[in-house]
Amino acid sequence: MTLNSPAYALHVASKAAGIDALQLACIAQTQPQAQEGEVVIQVLAAAVNPSDVKATLGIMPHAVFPRTPGRDFAGMVVDGPAHLKGLQVWGSGGDVGITRNGSHARYMVLPVAAVQEIPKGISMEEAGAVGVPFVTACEGFSRAGGVHAGQTVVVLGANGKVGQAAVQIAARAGAKVIAVQRQDVLEGFACANVEVINSTHMEPATRIMDLTGGKGADLVFNTVDKVYWEVGHAVMAHGATQIFIIATKGHTVPFDLFKFYRGMHNFVGIDTLALDAVRSCELLAELKPGFEDGTLKPFPVDAADMVALPDAMQAYKAVLAGAKNRMVLKP
């Protein structure tokens, strides 16, 4: 791709009743000009997240129309402060592609504080696919007071993308990590040994209590809400914290208030739509050293999962259907 090749952006005029009714237009785009405090980024890689697709369908209540979707990105600064021009940058944001035009385009405009140089040693495509899952996991641990060596961390739904990121971050911190999922093999990378519990073969709560000598976990990261609610609640140690992410409404669970009280438990909910591009950039800055020293690794992006902008609908449909791989648009 050259800088003077035709530029396009995805455009969604209004929410759709379903993916088959979605009008995902690919329209011509001209390079915008940066105003004071802004940068213009030429997007070179942009992941498609489930929240990107759901926002185009009107499932995310914050989403505005019309707009260009896309939360995660990696690219190059082509306009803005002189010292930033030509810099290869990455980022994400709960506002990007939701309440402001996003990354599924050749060009996007963001505040200067919302971008930083991509980590050394990872590709542009990998950098563009880090965003939402790692930002979510990092914010979860941050809101829980951090994750530290010597703690026991249980990740429920460890084979999902947020689960994989949480496993990586906890392992890097030196915690004892227990991954609960519906398969035997850990899906992603971890820089230290991880105990895997296949919940289709054994009752996870009993096994977790055995592994912790009856103490339970200091931190429980629940990436699949009510599916593992009873497990997560049962294995919390005295003073433990459980972190939740929930994508849609209607997830009610029975709550043992006495157990919560006696256990001195804490519950933290993470909504990355509330984290703007600047805050997301701060979280990525925390993670950057790990990607550079190899204790964290980006999600692999296969050539078959890189999609040109005019073919974005196939990526949107695949992600909504639960694609395991990271789908990345190449504007």
Task: Identify whether residues 197 and 83 lie together within a single domain.
Answer: no
Where residue 58 sits, what CATH number does that domain have? 3.90.180.10
Buried b (16+ CB within 10 A) or exposed e, 48-74: bbbbbbbbbbeebeebeeebbbbbbbb
Give the model's pLDDT for residue 1: 45
Bond before 66 cis per omega within 30 degrees = yes
Give the model's pLDDT for residue 159: 95
Decide if 2 is inside a domain. Answer: no
End-to-end, the C-alpha distance of the chain in Å comes to 9
Decide if 291 is inside a domain. Answer: no
The owner of tokens 């979707």 is 69
Give the model's pLDDT for residue 247: 61
Task: Identify whether residues 137 and 263 lie together within a single domain.
Answer: yes
The owner of tokens 């931190």 is 219
Beta-sheet strands, E only, within 18-115: 25-28, 38-47, 73-79, 88-91, 107-111
Q: Are 10 and 26 in contact (CB under 8 A)?
A: yes
Decide if 283 is inside a domain. Answer: no
Decide if 1 is inside a domain. Answer: no
Average pLDDT, 10 consecutive residues per value, the chain (331 residues):
75 95 96 97 98 92 93 98 97 96 98 97 98 98 97 97 98 98 95 97 96 98 88 96 81 84 94 95 98 98 96 97 95 92
145, β-bridge pairs? none
Decide if 282 is inside a domain. Answer: no
Decide if 92 is inside a domain. Answer: yes
Task: Identify whether residues 104 and 173 lie together within a single domain.
Answer: no
Range of the domain at 303: 8-130+299-330
* Number of domains present in the structure of the chain: 2
Task: Identify whether residues 79 and 45 lie together within a single domain.
Answer: yes
Task: Identify whether residues 119 and 144 lie together within a single domain.
Answer: no
Distances (CA, A) of 246 to 157, 257, 268, 328: 12, 21, 11, 23
Task: Identify whether residues 303 and 267 lie together within a single domain.
Answer: no
Give the model's pLDDT for residue 97: 96
Give the model's pLDDT for residue 243: 97
